[in-house]
Chains A and B, each alone.
Chain A
Amino acid sequence: MSTVAIAGQFDAAAQRAKTTPWRAVLDALVIMERILIGYTRIPEAVFFSSVQPIMFVLLFRYVFGGAIHVTDIPGGYVNFLMPGIFVQTVCFGSVQTSIGLAEDLQKGIIERFRSLPMARSAVLAGRTLADLVRNVLVVAIITGVGYAVGFRIHSVPGFFAGVALLLLFAYCLSWGFAVIGLSAPNSETAQVMAFPVLFPLTFAAGTFVPVSSMPGWLQGFATYQPVSETVAAARALMVGGPAEAADHVVWMLGWCVGLLVVLEPLAVRRYRTRT
């Protein structure tokens, strides 16, 4: 039986699934499954990746929050804060895309993928999809924590619309972090390379404090940059307030299209040329 088990006639054709246009999608799902199984095998990593945003919630709610004044948001600062925390969390989570890809390159598993008859796009699409799934989980946890510290939503459909938008944004952004991961020599460096991009984007924004409290020269950037637009759109949808949700949603969707159009081909090109 052993010889039969290892080689023998080339009979795989009979067992192969039919080749369909869905092939690329199915391949991406296989890669996504691989990464999600990986997350369940290191529960510590998942645990600590949700501890950090919980710390941010508590820190801003109880330590800094008292010093930050928002007047026009129903429910006060906690309602101002939580949409920002959601967006910040999914943005920070995108770093995982960089680290994971850099690690795969380092360990040689991408070499093996390149030698397989699978869709070329699946390695990147599967990775970004897995990180999307992880983001859904983390957002659910943070919502629970938020509720415990006084966060109240304006309407349920509004809340879910807000979540959908910020997940979409995070998905588009993760292609950018894929580019970083594919450019880094190793996973440690990938992480270090990601933060200089991440910090200005998430903090020089209307995430934790109103942009109006920032110096004039910073306000322009802080108002219109993609994270701010996403936070503003999510905030308007989730908790209401004076901001017109529609304006920010349009801006934010514009950013998403822009990011995807630029970053996706860039990531695919890096993937093709990186050896």
Chain B
Amino acid sequence: MANAIEATDLVKTFKGGVRALEGVSLNVEEGTVFGLLGPNGAGKTTAVRILTTILRPDSGSARVLGHDVVHEAAAVRSCIGLAGQYAAVDENLTGRENIRMIGQLTHLTRKAATARADELLERFELTDAANRPLKTYSGGMRRRLDLATALVDRPPVLFLDEPTTGLDPYSRVAMWGVIEELAAAGSTVLLTTQYLEEADRLADRLVVVDHGRVIAEGTSEELKASLGATVLDLNMGDDVRAKQALDVLTGRWPREPVLAGTTVELQLDGGARTVTEALGLLDEADLIPTTLAMREPSLDDVFLALTGHGAEAEEKEAVT
């Protein structure tokens, strides 16, 4: 399948020498959801602003549906929709007026824009609030309206810049549902997020960016696999038994078990066989675990391993 978005070596430096992007390349296949994952200040928003023609890159190039974002900006603009983390809508206008205005500016006729506004308001459960100024909307409602506005002319490519940042858990799950629906309907979605869970759930492929560079790329499964295998957590109930279990299990597999409190963590390179062996050895030594659990490494583990500073590092996003 063709690529809907192609970016090659994007570099952007802001006034004052802030290097927002230091050579970012990415390819997004048509009809897929692509995650751009990274902490605040990683350069995610800058990348989105370049791809949506708001900013020009210092060097490098990018194409959206084959149109160059610098030289064919007008063509790019007529096939994209953008919903930002700042919910860029007009406070004084009502929900309906906001969607209609953007519809008219994407050159729908006034009549078509009005009809489309009603359709979207209904879909996003904003019909009751349609004639109220945005000032009276909650954060979640604003975000929904912002997204509805981005969909007004049914753009084939969507850019969602941190669509769930600051939302309550209920609104977040509702937003995920909408994004999944868009993907199912064949839209190409580029999504930025600081939430590993979100990228894990929504994105077909993702890149991890940090300090303006891509530091990992793949499906979330691949990224997790690159970190390691499934982990078996054996909770022994107390420190003494945990220490004994560790001794019993040490020296038998390529990856040594590690102790975390009363739990022994064992990486299962050998799959289910390792589980059987480990439990057999513990049984012989009369060391029966109180509980046991198997888990996949989380994207949080991936992030920590890749960046060395976890996903929650607070840094101000470069905005001028």
Contact = CB atoms under 8 A, between A and B. Distances in A.
Contact of B54 (A10, A27, A41, A111): A111
Contact of A112 (B88, B120, B185, B187): B88
Q: For chain A, what secondary structure do more than half of its interface residues adopt (helix, strand, loop), or is it mixed?
A: helix
Given A115-B53, A275-B54, A17 B107 contact: yes
A41 B94 CA distance: 10
Interface stretch (A30-38, A127-135, A251-259): A30-38
Contacts of A112: 82, 84, 88-89, 102, 149
Contact of A6 (B79, B89, B123): B123
A15 interface: yes
Contacts of A19: 107
Contacts of A16: 106-109, 153
Given A7-B154, A107-B86, A38 B93 contact: yes
B83 to A, nearest CB: 9
B89 A5 contact: no
Size bracket, chain B contacts = 35 or more
B92 A37 contact: yes
A8 interface: yes
A2 B148 CA distance: 12
B90 A12 contact: no
Interface string A25-57: 011001101100110011000000000000000
B105 A114 contact: no
Interface string A201-235: 00000000000000000000000000000000000
B108 A117 contact: no
Contact of A15 (B80, B84, B112, B182): B112
Nearest to A7: B185
Contacts of B90: 34, 38, 109
Interface string B82-121: 1010111111110001000110111111001000100110
26 contacts: A3-B184, A5-B119, A5-B120, A6-B123, A7-B181, A8-B154, A8-B185, A10-B154, A12-B106, A12-B153, A16-B108, A23-B107, A30-B105, A33-B101, A41-B92, A107-B86, A107-B91, A109-B89, A111-B54, A112-B149, A115-B53, A115-B77, A116-B102, A117-B106, A118-B105, A122-B105
Nearest 6 interchain pairs by C-beta: A7-B185, A38-B92, A108-B88, A108-B86, A5-B123, A112-B88
